[in-house]
Amino acid sequence: MKRLRLMVSVAITAITMSIAAIPVFAETEPNDSKIVPLAKAHAHNDYEHERPLYDALGHGFTSVEADVWLKDGKLLVAHDEVDVKPERTLKSLYLEPLKRKVTQNQGSVYKGSDQDFLLWIDIKSEDVATYKKIHQQLADYQKMLTKFSKAGVNESAVTVIISGNRPRDLMENQAVRYAAYDGRMSDLGTPASNEFMPVISDNWTKHFTWQGEGEMPSEERDKLNRIVKTAHNNGQMVRFWATPDLDLPNRKAVWDELMKADVDLINTDDLPELQKYILENDPNPTQQHIEW
């Protein structure tokens, strides 16, 4: 009997030690009380980080991007269709965690801050069917979402922006929306209201040849300034993707020009480096994204 008790005791001890050795992420959600929310920080392909959303929040990002596919009635998050997994849903990776944060922080994503937060949903599958599912799902979270209607904009903690395959006609004709529309450079200077299209974003390489080597050509710097001025005059933000992000010296040179031109969102996959850069270079890192 004593031998049996000893064996049981050893087994329990081994199990206890094994459990203790397993990494425990009790602090899954970052303690954001000391994190500075950075208005210009945009997490490109955020879902590819080890902890989608939470890594961005841990570095003060106030704008994150999730690519979605409509598969078997679910909104699945992945860049390519072959990579979709049934457990990686828009709801589980973004909507539910954001709801918890907003509830915990009494109406904001970051504790003690009224900084607005942007959730970009980039539609990869067919536009109309996917957007209808998105709209249906967003309605369940409407208390934390900015609402767009004939009466105007009712701003809340999280503003959703639809990018990628965007069903413009459908969205423009909705009586109530829980998301805004992501414009392109072809929309710059058009009569589109910022209540429908609060942002102009586009591929950097389609409009600029400069990739951060040497001085930025003066004509391209002037073009960048004109783009930003035109958008800002219409109450719209500006964002570029496909800017240099791997070559560190070139990346910093481009970030410098984006910062000087007052581009609203800086795109990156390198969260800690952009956080460090903005804190060192932006005199007003917590400015609001949009003035409705």
Domains in the chain with CATH codes: 36-281 (3.20.20.190)
Predicted local confidence at residue 31, as pLDDT: 61
Of the given ranges (8-22, 111-125, 244-258), which has the lowest mean pLDDT? 8-22
Whether 37 shows a pLDDT value over 80: the answer reads yes
What type of residue is 256? D
Cα separation, 164 vs 149, in Å, equals 22
Cα separation, 120 vs 116, in Å, equals 13
**121-144: average pLDDT:** 98
Q: Are 242 and 199 in contact (CB under 8 A)?
A: no
- The number of CA neighbours under 13 Å toward the Cβ of 257 is 26
Predicted local confidence at residue 11, as pLDDT: 44
Predicted local confidence at residue 246, as pLDDT: 86
Of the given ranges (9-23, 42-56, 57-71, 159-173), which has the lowest mean pLDDT? 9-23
CA-CA distances (angstroms) from residue 136 to 12, 63, 77? 49, 22, 17
**11-21: average pLDDT:** 41
Whether 150 shows a pLDDT value over 80: the answer reads yes
Whether 275 shows a pLDDT value over 50: the answer reads yes
Q: Which residue shows structure tokens 């536009």?
A: 127
Predicted local confidence at residue 33, as pLDDT: 63
What type of residue is 64? V
Predicted local confidence at residue 1, as pLDDT: 45
What type of residue is 234? N
Determine how β-strand 117-123 pairs with β-strand 176-177.
unpaired
**117-134: average pLDDT:** 98
Predicted local confidence at residue 50, as pLDDT: 93
**225-246: average pLDDT:** 96
Confidence band (pLDDT; 50, 70, 90) for 32? low
pLDDT, averaged across the chain: 90
Predicted local confidence at residue 289, as pLDDT: 86
